[in-house]
Amino acid sequence: MKVKVSLKTNDKKYLPQRMSQHAAGSDLVACLEKSIEIDPGTVKIIPTGISIEVPQGYEAQVRPRSGLAFKHGITVLNTPGTIDADYRGEVKVILINHGEEAFLIEDGMRIAQLIINKVEIPEFELSEELSDTKRGSGGFGHTGH
């Protein structure tokens, strides 16, 4: 599958890039004129300098990078962030700092990963009753630990 990418600048370092042969995601990098500091407990929107054309019937998901999450407490706030097939604006990543120290995002830094998935479009049908299951309406930890 090919996904068209438009760059805000002519620098190809901003293109999403898979970092290993079997990687499911492609890394997104920050496209910044100046560094952005994320203080503990705060949220920042980080531009990537790219716009993408997701094929119809697919979505792009923005997910955290495990190394940033584990080492620094930096994660994507709306995980996963969804980019719909009809969106053509710049991809931006909502990052939050759950760590104890301020974290500096610099231009070209890998900040998240992008995954393209097939989407089933449901047809919702109004019904007076739903089928019964053993679980029923139990939720929010109803099975215990």
22 φ/ψ sector (left φ>0, alpha ψ -120 to 50, else beta): alpha
Is 92 exposed, middle or buried (CB count within 10 Å of its CB: 0-12, 13-18, 19+)? middle
Residue pLDDT, tens place only, 17-74: 999 999 999 999 999 999 999 999 999 999 999 999 999 999 999 999 999 999 999 9
Q: Is 42 annotated as a binding residue?
A: no
Structural domain spans, the chain: 4-118
Global pTM?
0.89
Is 105 flagged in the annotation as binding? Answer: no
Yes or no: domain 4-118 corresponds to CATH 2.60.120.380 = no
pLDDT tens digits, one per residue of 99-124: 999 999 999 999 999 999 999 999 99
Check the annotation: does 86 bind a ligand: no
Cα–Cα distance for residue pair 1/70, rounded to 1 Å: 32
| 13-27, 63-77, 88-102, 127-141: least confident range | 127-141
